[in-house]
Amino acid sequence: MNIERKTNFATLTGSALLSVVTLGLLARYASGDPISLQWEIFRWHDYRFTFGLLGDGPGLVFLSVAALLGGLVVRFSHTYMHREPGHGRFFSTLSVFLLGIFILSLASNLDTLFLGWELVGISSFLLIGFYRHRVSSLRNAQKVYAIYRLCDVGLLVGAYLEHTGHGGGEGRLLIISILILLSAAGKSAQFPFSFWLPRAMEGPTPSSAIFYGALSIHAGTLLLFRTTQIWQSSLYAPWLVGGIGFITALVCTASSRAQSTIKGQIAYASAAQVGLMFVEMALGYQNLALLHFVGNACLRCYQLLVSPSVVVYLLKLQGSIGRKIEKSVSGRLRSTLYAFASSEAYLEAICRTLFWSGPTLTSNWISRFPVFAYFGIPLLAALAGGVTYALLASAGVAALQALNRRNAAHRTWELTSLASLLLSIGVSYGGANGSWMIVVPFAAGIIACFGLGRIGIHMKSPGLSFASLLGLTGFPISPVFFGEDLLLHSAVQIHTSVAILFSAVFIINGISLIRAFSRNFFKGI
Amino acid sequence: MHMHIESAFDIKSCLDTISHWLPTQGPIRDFIHHNTLHAYQDRPFHEGVRTASRMYGSHSYLSLSEFLKLYRQGQISESSLAAAARGKASIDELKHGSWIPRPAGIFENGLRARWTTKHSINMDNRVHPTLFRIASNYLDQGVASWRMPHSSETLYDALRKIVEESFLPLPPFSHPEARRLLRKTPENAIAEILKRFLGSEKHFERYLTETCLAHAGWSGMIRVIEDDPSRLVMRRSPNLVDFIALELIAEYVVAYKTLGAGFAPIATPDEPKLSIPADEPLPPQSDTERLQEIWQEAMERSYVEPLLERLARHKPLSPTGTPFAQAFFCIDDRACSVRRHLEAVLPNVETFATAGFFGVDCNFQGISDSYAYKHCPVPVSPTRLIREIAVRPASAPNKTSWKERSLHLESASNTFLRGWLITQTLGFWSAVKLAVSLFRPSLEPATASSLRRLDTESKLQIDYTFDEMADRIENVLKSTGAAKSGLSDLVVLIGHGASSVNNPYFAAYDCGACSGKPGSPNARAFAVMANNPTVRRLLGERGLRIRENTWFVGGIHDTTRDELQYYDLDLLPEGLRKSFESFKAGLEQALEKNAQERCQMFEMVPKDIDTKRALAEVRRRSVAIFEPRPEFNHATNACAIVGRRALTRGLDLKRRAFLNSYDPSTDPEGSILSSILSAVVPVCGGISLEYYFSRVDVDRYGAGSKLPHNVNGLIGVTNGVEGDLLTGLPTQMIEVHTPVRLNLIVEHEADVALAAAKKNASIFEWIENYWIRYFSISPSTKKIREFRDGKMVEWQ
């Protein structure tokens, strides 16, 4: 039995197991006694990290679709991926993805949900960049990762604000809802992030089908299902959710119509339907949205899998069915609509300006005036808010500088680790008594990961470096993650702005590291 | 428009020259094999590929480690290696040669690269996605549901008008600088921008060449359609000048916005001109290339040496007894094994092979086709139309029935409200459909099936005069030697086509002699014409008598499914029914064995598979949406033999040979041979070299792995939504191929063979420059000669 057959056997067993577990969960749910699992992994003072699963509601529907389509796609890929270099890599990434979806669907608390998010994010990055020798696939993998990262940390902050919420009324509720919505919109390719979805179609067709056709794209919907009570109790949030959904549906339908590539067209069409699901949820039709999700997931998954057929099919029909050319609009309006749709509603440029130009400009500026950046900014911060802010500002400067150092991997590793350490010291300085205790596991984790990374870079080993990257970016269940989690816990207690600074540094660190990694270990850009 | 000439440099003719180096692959619906490096064919093979490798940054041969692997497996023999290396290198050197990476393409280390080194701008990343999207939207044949406004005009005009009319921007073309440039002619815009970028005209050609080759797929496609707009059904008028002008405008806007109006040029008038490798005298050979060349020669020799020995030793075999039937196949290498199996099952059947359009050059329009497709070799321009006519008028033409529709593949599900309805309803059904097509694959609306090309219930309307019909029949019967050996009562013509699903390359699987279409209309038309009494009378007047009780039947062999279909059987004379039934049964049995032989090449199929299971396996493959290798087409092709079947009957050529029937005794002057060569050389040579180049560099000459491909405007495939159009063959089609040049073996005396080849200069170029190897085998003495240095010399 060669390695390919072994992989096939293992994944087939895995997907069968997933189906059996899902059926079991469904049976228990039907009998009115859903399975619930709580496992406390880590505890420190009033902080608890609990791994919790609960088999009921929308999550279970999500899981059922995942088990069904996941199984079919695994079976599909056994033949499809035959002899493809990276066969094993493909299936292991797919397995990690399905595990992530499993955890995401059943998570009964936000820590667990976050673990699922991260697994899905990392496996997405790896599968979009599956063809490591191609520049465009790596570039797009990085784009998607950056957006995912923004969403992940947004969610983390939102979650803490929610947990530590002591009243605060509508304003606080709205901020939490916005953070949740930001996170859901990014993951589900909603306005203004929609542009990443077609660009993610770089991996083998079955991976595009299961990730971006069926499951990943609906992760945001699931998040909104899970947090319905939170955002529905805000007065304005449902309007925001519905509004974003509605704008997405319009913008993506237009973009889809001007797409002359088949996968791009399906991608935008799918995002438009998810937009409608947001609208349905905002209006309170949760069950309709759930039904809509199942239909859309199955349809898009199938459409993407058979997308190469479109040549034969449409050529046969060519001329025999009328093409839907918009006759209703003409003249200048038509050109306007076309310019808008074929430029994909300018979303990429908008996001670049909103989220990207700030950090890169600052980063360039820091490289030009390093002395002022390293001493002046922290000094100003110290004057404004004390030592904590000074340390956080230095961390920010280091993180931003790392963004500009993607050619030299070792520099990126140094600067991001430095930023993380400064961050931890800053937060524990300002935090409650005993916060110093958190720094120890966190710093130990950072230093260990940094060491691992340096060895990996020195030995030119992608495996070691990637492990180190996961650690430094605070991947769940790594020592850094617990530290990060704990630090965020205290950061929120100090002040909301500290928590936001803290997460900004983490987002930027993640992006710098993944860019440096692609550049140095794949044929990156 | 203002037509003031701003520059003496002729942009148009410069781009004409450059387009010589671009791929010439057309829209994917008629994928036609051709020599990937056709433009270099005026140079000797090894020099041509070496020059090309410096243009495109590509590999020209297998790597040394791949050669070594073949050597260890015994596929390159010790003796061939020694013979190829004699006087050139030591065996030790060959085994331990150093490995160098592929040479850089001109767009990787020339002027364009300076945008990165000098200005830190990755121009390709900034400009290509927008540019490709515009080209794809403009050429789109039916994917997008909104057509680009003004697409009936030229690309440049269409874009300018959209920019002028639109109230919203169309970046980067709505930038004031771009608007200003768009008001000029494309030539003037190019000249102005190049002047600004490069300072001097002497760098123009190099920069333009780099620009075109950095996205050879799109530039090539634009050029192909510019040269022949009929390649698209929905006509567009793209041209390379427009396309490059738009690219340069976009580049200019990027430079202007990033670096400011006063950005420094990337070249100076004082620096020496960078040359273009293809214009240079021969580039020096690297050490690795020298060794690769020897290995290549050794690998080819290892194949051809035993083959020639077997041919020379083989005792001529004829059918046992008088043949009760004769069957005509295509020269295709896939027919090679079918004929062998048929002759083994029915020893009293005689087989012939000729180019699979059977001399019937036509445009063909089937019942449900909305326009006619060309069904003959690429260089031929057919003037006649053959139409398929429904017998029962009830089946209305030009209307695809709902049974043949699939909403999953139509853009309705991608719109707003209908999309909402469809996802809520049909959506769930998709999961069922997917499960069914995974576990019980069957024919679907999107399957490309050669058997569905022609309806058995229909009739053909043939637009030839009787004289033209007689010409075509006479030509085929004489050139194959069938006229001389006499026709049996039953003559069957078997065209071929393929079936596949989820496969944009479907056309590459069909008959190459029918421009990538199934050969059934041609085979059927041939039979109809040959059965016509008037045609037979005309033929009789020309001295080609066809007996009254001879009957022709047309049919098709689906090479993927190993399945057959015959046409007009209702007209078959009663007296021939029995012999037809036994022929049919014999051929079906042969196809089972053929399926079994083919299954040996599929890695996931057990080697000891029996014939019934093998047939089921190949049929499953043809309809499975998850099977990227429905069949291996021409992979492993290695030789073409033009001669009598007696030369090869009974020899197992392992599906590696193109066979063309030809009787040298009917053609002492070689004039028939010369016309056969003018079809065989470009068709088989084109197939051979397309496989060769896609195999030695699947990323540059080929299309890379098929698995991530995305269909673009129904004209080609790309990786992702913003990649260059991919040309050549994907990995899944070429991975089992051994890249040897075609060995063309002609059964005739050497001097006649050479004269016949020389008659047509464009054919002789292939031979003279060694893009194929040319051999002659004497019909009398069986002596073999090889073409070398302008002469036919004794093979050794």
Chain A, nearest residue to B453 by Cα: A316
Which of A265, A337, A341 lies at the smallest CB-CB distance from B414? A265
Q: Is A10 on the interface with B (CB under 8 A)?
A: no
Q: Is A292 on the interface with B (CB under 8 A)?
A: yes
- Going from the C-alpha of B635 to that of each of A233, B55, B238, the distances in angstroms are 65, 27, 34
Q: Is A518 on the interface with B (CB under 8 A)?
A: no
Nearest Cα neighbor of A228 from A281, A283, A158 is A281
- Interface test with chain B among A248, A260, A270, by most B beta carbons within 10 Å: A260
Chain A, nearest residue to B414 by Cα: A269
Q: Which residues of B are less than 8 Å from A319 in CB distance?
A: 233, 370-371, 398
pLDDT, tens digit, for every residue of B629-666? 999 999 999 999 999 999 999 999 999 999 999 999 99
Chain B, nearest residue to A327 by Cα: B146
pLDDT, tens digit, for every residue of B56-108? 999 999 999 999 999 999 999 999 999 999 988 888 888 887 777 778 889 88
pLDDT at B375: 93
**C-alpha to C-alpha distance for B125 and A524, rounded to whole angstroms:** 12
pLDDT, tens digit, for every residue of A129-184? 899 888 888 889 988 988 988 888 778 777 777 766 555 677 888 888 998 999 99
What kind and span of H or E run contains A277? helix A262-282
Average pLDDT for A334-345 = 93
Which of B141, B142, B424 lies at the smallest CB-CB distance from A291? B424
pLDDT band for position B429 (cuts 50, 70, 90): confident
Q: What is the mean pLDDT of chain B?
A: 91
pLDDT at B400: 52
Maximum distance among all Cα pairs of chain B, rounded to whole angstroms: 89
Yes or no, beta carbons of B705 and A136 under 8 Å apart: no
Q: Which residues of A are less than 8 Å from B448 in CB distance?
A: 312
pLDDT, tens digit, for every residue of B134-161? 999 999 988 888 889 998 999 999 999 9
pLDDT band for position A322 (cuts 50, 70, 90): very low
**Dihedral, CA atoms, B649, B655, B660, B664, nearest 10 degrees?**
-40
Percent of chain B with pLDDT over 70: 97
Residues A54/A48, Cβ–Cβ less than 8 Å: no
pLDDT at position B518 over 90 = yes
Which of B144, B146, B399 lies at the smallest CB-CB distance from A320? B399
SS3 for A99? helix
Q: How many CB atoms lie within 10 A of CB B484?
A: 11
pLDDT at position A319 over 80 = no
pLDDT band for position B398 (cuts 50, 70, 90): very low
pLDDT, tens digit, for every residue of A514-525? 888 887 776 543
**C-alpha to C-alpha distance for A243 and A155, rounded to whole angstroms:** 20
| Phi, psi torsion values for A434, nearest 5 degrees | 90, -5
pLDDT, tens digit, for every residue of A229-255? 889 988 899 999 999 999 999 999 999
Which of B399, B438, B448 lies at the smallest CB-CB distance from A72? B438
Structure tokens given for B184: 């000029």
pLDDT at B402: 54
pLDDT at position B404 over 70 = no
Residues B497/B518, Cβ–Cβ less than 8 Å: yes
pLDDT band for position B182 (cuts 50, 70, 90): very high
Yes or no, beta carbons of B705 and A317 under 8 Å apart: no
Yes or no, beta carbons of A80 and B167 under 8 Å apart: no
pLDDT at position B690 over 60 = yes
Residues 60-79 (A) with a CB less than 8 A from some CB of B: 68-69, 72, 75-77, 79
Q: Is A495 on the interface with B (CB under 8 A)?
A: no
The alpha-carbon gap from B88 to the nearest alpha carbon of chain A, in Å, equals 36
pLDDT at position B394 over 60 = no
pLDDT at position B501 over 60 = yes
Residues 90-119 (A) with a CB less than 8 A from some CB of B: none
Lowest-pLDDT range, B3-7, B325-329, B426-430, B638-642? B3-7
Amino acid of residue B283: P
- B214 Cβ neighbours under 8 A, 6+ residues apart: B107, B112, B124, B128
pLDDT at position A325 over 50 = no
Half-sphere exposure of A20 (CA within 13 A, CB side): 6
**Dihedral, CA atoms, B417, B418, B420, B426, nearest 10 degrees?**
170
Average pLDDT for B547-573 = 95
Nearest Cα neighbor of B364 from B530, B526, B473 is B526
- Interface test with chain B among A1, A261, A276, by most B beta carbons within 10 Å: A261
Q: How many CB atoms lie within 10 A of CB A507?
A: 20
Yes or no, beta carbons of A306 and B142 under 8 Å apart: no
Q: Is A35 on the interface with B (CB under 8 A)?
A: no
- Interface test with chain B among A130, A312, A336, A404, by most B beta carbons within 10 Å: A312
Chain A, nearest residue to B452 by Cα: A316
pLDDT at B1: 40
Q: Is A273 on the interface with B (CB under 8 A)?
A: yes
Q: At what angle do helices B155-165 and A331-342 cross, to 10 degrees?
A: 100
Residues 307-326 (A) with a CB less than 8 A from some CB of B: 307-321, 323-326
pLDDT at position B441 over 80 = yes
Chain pair A-B, CB pairs under 8 angstroms: 302
Which of A72, A81, A263 lies at the smallest CB-CB distance from B721? A263
Residue carrying the six token digits 């001669």 = B643
Render the burial of B446-476: b for 16+ CB within 10 Å, e for the rest: bbbbbbbbbbeebebebebeeebbbbbbbeb
pLDDT, tens digit, for every residue of A257-300? 999 999 999 999 999 999 999 999 999 999 999 999 999 999 99
Which of A258, A269, A343 lies at the smallest CB-CB distance from B146? A258
Lowest-pLDDT range, A52-66, A401-415, B511-525, B557-571? A401-415
Q: Is A149 on the interface with B (CB under 8 A)?
A: no
**C-alpha to C-alpha distance for A517 and A279, rounded to whole angstroms:** 39
Residues 208-237 (A) with a CB less than 8 A from some CB of B: 208
Which of B370, B447, B714 lies at the smallest CB-CB distance from A319? B370
pLDDT at B3: 45
Average pLDDT for B262-283 = 89
pLDDT at position A344 over 50 = yes
Residue B618 CA to its chain's centroid (Å): 23
Residue B237 CA to its chain's centroid (Å): 24
Q: Which residues of A are less than 8 Å from B149 in CB distance?
A: 334-335, 338
Yes or no, beta carbons of B137 and A79 under 8 Å apart: no
Q: Parallel, antiparallel, or unpaired for β B784-788 and B657-661?
A: unpaired
Which of A273, A306, A339 lies at the smallest CB-CB distance from B169? A339
- Interface test with chain B among A143, A253, A299, by most B beta carbons within 10 Å: A299
The alpha-carbon gap from B30 to the nearest alpha carbon of chain A, in Å, equals 11
User: pTM, whole model, 2 decimals?
Assistant: 0.93
Percent of chain B with pLDDT over 90: 75
The alpha-carbon gap from B63 to the nearest alpha carbon of chain A, in Å, equals 17
pLDDT at B412: 67
Q: Which residues of A are less than 8 Å from B163 in CB distance?
A: 339
Rg over CA atoms, chain B: 28
Residues A303/A210, Cβ–Cβ less than 8 Å: no
Average pLDDT for B482-497 = 93
Q: Which residues of B are less than 8 Å from A76 in CB distance?
A: 438, 625-626
pLDDT at position B344 over 90 = yes
- Going from the C-alpha of B609 to that of each of B442, B595, B599, B628, B724, the distances in angstroms are 22, 10, 8, 21, 42
Higher pLDDT, B446 or B190: B190
Q: Which residues of B are less than 8 Å from A341 in CB distance?
A: 146
Yes or no, beta carbons of B431 and A314 under 8 Å apart: no
Residues B55/B21, Cβ–Cβ less than 8 Å: yes
pLDDT at A1: 52
pLDDT at position A513 over 90 = no
Residues B211/B205, Cβ–Cβ less than 8 Å: no
pLDDT at position A370 over 70 = yes
pLDDT at A523: 57
pLDDT at B397: 45
Lowest-pLDDT range, A311-315, B188-192, B620-624? A311-315
